[in-house]
Amino acid sequence: MNKQKIKKFAKEISIPLILLIIYFIFFHVQKVVSLPAQDALIELTLDYINTRSIFFIFLIAVVEGGLILGQYAPGGVVISLSIISAGGDITKIALLCLVISLAYLIAYGIDYFVGYYGINRLIEKFGFHNSILKYKRLLEKNVFSTIFFSYWETNIASIVAASAGSLKVSFKKFFLYSIIGVLFWVTFWAIILFFFGNIFLRILGYQYLLILVIVWISFIFYKNFIKKPDEETIMEKIGEKIDEKMDINS
């Protein structure tokens, strides 16, 4: 195997590995320290999140979509739990999706201008320089597919937004693609959480984190060692068509 690939793989799995270690420490601590029963703990968490205001969720989503704070904020957990805690209230879930989408769009817009106005010291200080370069190369190849496929996860999306700004991608194009990406992925995750979120929490309990981390590591492994670098997806082809039309209209 290529040493560079192994080094890159090791770097990318560092965060999920840390989470995996935390999981096992927590698992063993349960045998020594008395913790609330799983159902009671889940109920307590969901009840607490459900009593938070929409504005509170909005602020967390803005922070989560930020380039700097978003890399450390646990907003994804809170936002996911807020949708699960809404239960079968479709009206509340729809409102949450709209509020979260708006917050993400504002955050990514700020990230775009951080990249656009070249705040390089800030980017380099927090170690985003290599990531920015990586996504700039992908954006040069296809703006739409890069934005669309990165917006499934806010940490990646914020870096892509900053990369788009650094590359001086048209803001009109960037914002339009961001609307498409944000609405799709927020709706997608809301549907998954609506049907399966509560089931996952109650059946899997603490093991839910373990499964998420294993899936995360598997995805990183696939991306580094299985996926072909020149592999072109249907969405990339669609993205090229959309980019062409946007350039003509511009």
Q: Output the pLDDT for position 73.
A: 57
Tell me the percentage of the chain whose pLDDT exceeds 90: 20
Full-model pTM: 0.68
Asked if residue 226 is part of any domain, the answer here is: no
Asked if residue 7 is part of any domain, the answer here is: no
Domains in the chain, number: 1
* Banded pLDDT at 217 (limits 50, 70, 90): confident
Q: Output the pLDDT for position 41.
A: 47
Asked if residue 26 is part of any domain, the answer here is: no
Rounded Cα gap, residues 96 and 51, in angstroms: 13
Lowest mean pLDDT among 48-57, 104-113, 240-249: 240-249
Residue-averaged pLDDT of the chain:
75
Please name the residues in contact with 229: beta carbons below 8 A apart, sequence gap of 6 or more. none
Asked if residue 42 is part of any domain, the answer here is: yes
In this structure, how many other beta carbons lie within 10 angstroms of the beta carbon of residue 203?
10
Asked if residue 85 is part of any domain, the answer here is: yes
Q: Which residue has the higher pLDDT, 195 or 206?
A: 195
Q: Which residue has the higher pLDDT, 103 or 155?
A: 103
DSSP state of 69: G
First to last CA, the chain: 45
Q: Output the pLDDT for position 3.
A: 72
196 has pLDDT over 80: no
**Residue range 76-99: average pLDDT?**
81
Query: pLDDT (tens digit, 9 = 90+) per residue, 109-149?
Result: 999 998 888 766 666 666 667 777 888 888 988 899 999 99
Can you list the pairs that 29-35 forms with residues at least 24 positions away whose Cβ atoms lie under 8 Å? 30/206
Q: Output the pLDDT for position 173.
A: 93
Asked if residue 140 is part of any domain, the answer here is: yes
Asked if residue 16 is part of any domain, the answer here is: no
164 has pLDDT over 90: yes
38 has pLDDT over 70: no
Range of the domain at 100: 36-210
Asked if residue 248 is part of any domain, the answer here is: no
Q: Within 13 Å and on the Cβ side, how many CA atoms surround 200?
A: 15
75 has pLDDT over 60: no
Q: What share of the chain is helix, strand, coil (3-state, %, to 5)?
A: 80, 0, 20
Token pair in block for residue 39: 């159902």
